Amino acid sequence: MARKSQRTRTGYRILVVDDQEEMLVSVRAVLEREGHEVLTAEGGARALELFKAHDIHLLLVDYFMPCITGEDLIREIRKFDPYVQIILQTGYSGEKPANQMMAELDIQGYHDKADGPEKLLLWVDVGLKAHRLISKLRERERLQTELVANVSHEFRTPLHIIGGYTDLLLQGEFGDLPEAARQSLHRMASATNNLAELVSDLLRYGRLEAGMADAAAQWVITDDLASEMERLAGLLLEGKDVTFTVDVDEAPDGFAADLVKLRTILRNLVTNAVKFTTRGSIALRLWREEERLQLAVSDSGSGIAAADQEIIFEPFRQLDGSATRLYRGIGLGLALSRKLARILGGELSVESEPGVGSTFLLSLPLRIDERVRAAEEESVLRISQVGAVRAA
């Protein structure tokens, strides 16, 4: 049964990529009769230009093309847009099976050109329906992220006030306090600091989701970073039968990185290791491997099953999400850390075995940027000179 032609504009923009001009013309005519806006490209390079310049809802990509194949083009697009709907078209035999291609390339359809326009329009309808559903979910997720960020921002001021007055009381600004009161204040300070860190993580994650994060390089002294993590572990492990060690023997003395982001990742990894390790050891190791800096946090904790090792990097996901779970937190630290790692040009992964322990590996491009170090040293010198002048 022939489809009825529609002249009403659908509002959808489809990009068709094919090295055969007659195919571009015929597919464009079919899609425009359905009311879709159609852009065409005769190769992968032009397709990438159009994709970056326009809001594309669906791609129809030919498999065999010169220079950049359909498979290469799809992999390139997936690097910066995991959500756009893609249908692969083919007019030749010999490529991989359709189900294998759909799984490997994360595409939504596989159309044989010999099946004709009716089958193509069916795939297009399926792809656009998926686009509508994904768009609604992404908008809902955006609104939820925005709400969380706004609420977290409102939490900050009262938390700072509570923390400030707690510190003043502990310092004796309002007179001496009995030991029982001081113990209660210490617990208040600890709870306030934990909640403040949670709020900070929520705000950071909200900014990352909104695309408001760039990496700013500065000179990082390896020993200083290691000492900071040792101090953090010492506080977190107080009262626990767990040792913490640091190994930087094979690491460079310093390197260029965004210290705030790197510190956040390591803090989350160390905190996570402490949370799931009741006895044994936790180790932080930094070393150079060719042109990469490797940072590993290993523990002898409960470990993670292979099937769950990607779930833990999803936001607000915990292996035990029940109200009676043993470990506190909202499941944001590892998701935030992986996002920050990728902003730094690296990757965060895990190797783990239940009952044995886990190793989280942060792999970053190693930057020994002398200009960054020189700028940092000049800044420190300038600050010290200003201090000397004021003292005089």
Phi, psi at 295, each rounded to 5°: -130, 120
Choose the weakest-confidence range: 26-30, 254-258, 328-332, 333-337: 328-332
Cα separation of 39 and 36, whole Å? 10
**Per-residue model confidence (pLDDT) at position 320:** 52
Cα separation of 230 and 94, whole Å? 57
**What percent of the chain lies above the pLDDT cut of 90?**
40
**Per-residue model confidence (pLDDT) at position 221:** 94
Give whole-number Cα distances, 217 to 221, 251, 315, 376, in Å. Answer: 13, 18, 26, 10
Domain 218-372 sits in which CATH superfamily? Histidine kinase-like ATPase, C-terminal domain (3.30.565.10)
Residue 41's DSSP bridge partners are 17
Per-residue pLDDT for 364 more than 60?
yes
- Across residues 267-287, what is the average pLDDT? 93
Cα separation of 232 and 320, whole Å? 26
Q: pLDDT by residue (tens digit) across 193-233?
A: 877 877 777 777 766 666 656 677 889 999 999 999 999 99
The domain locations on the chain are 13-115, 147-209, 218-372
Q: Which CATH number fits domain 13-115: 3.50.90.10, 3.40.50.970, 3.40.50.2300, 3.20.20.60?
A: 3.40.50.2300
Per-residue pLDDT for 279 more than 60?
yes
Helix, strand, coil distribution of the chain in percent, nearest 5: 50, 20, 30
Give whole-number Cα distances, 233 to 49, 106, 152, 184, 301, in Å. Answer: 48, 41, 26, 23, 15
Rg (CA), the chain: 27
Residue 269: alpha-carbon gap to chain centroid? 15
- Across residues 130-150, what is the average pLDDT? 81
- Strand-strand pairing, 357-365 and 347-353: antiparallel
Q: Is 375 left (phi over 0), alpha (psi -120 to 50) or beta?
A: alpha
Q: Does residue 98 or residue 120 have the better pLDDT?
A: 120
- Across residues 74-98, what is the average pLDDT? 79
**Per-residue model confidence (pLDDT) at position 110:** 84
CB 19 within 8 A of CB 62: yes
Per-residue pLDDT for 372 more than 60?
no
Q: What is the dihedral of CA 240, 299, 232, 330, to 10 degrees?
A: -90
Closest CA relative to residue 14, chosen from 48, 69, 55: 55
**Per-residue model confidence (pLDDT) at position 390:** 40
DSSP state of 2: P
CB 163 within 8 A of CB 197: no
CB 87 within 8 A of CB 59: yes
Cα separation of 142 and 171, whole Å? 43
Cα separation of 295 and 265, whole Å? 10
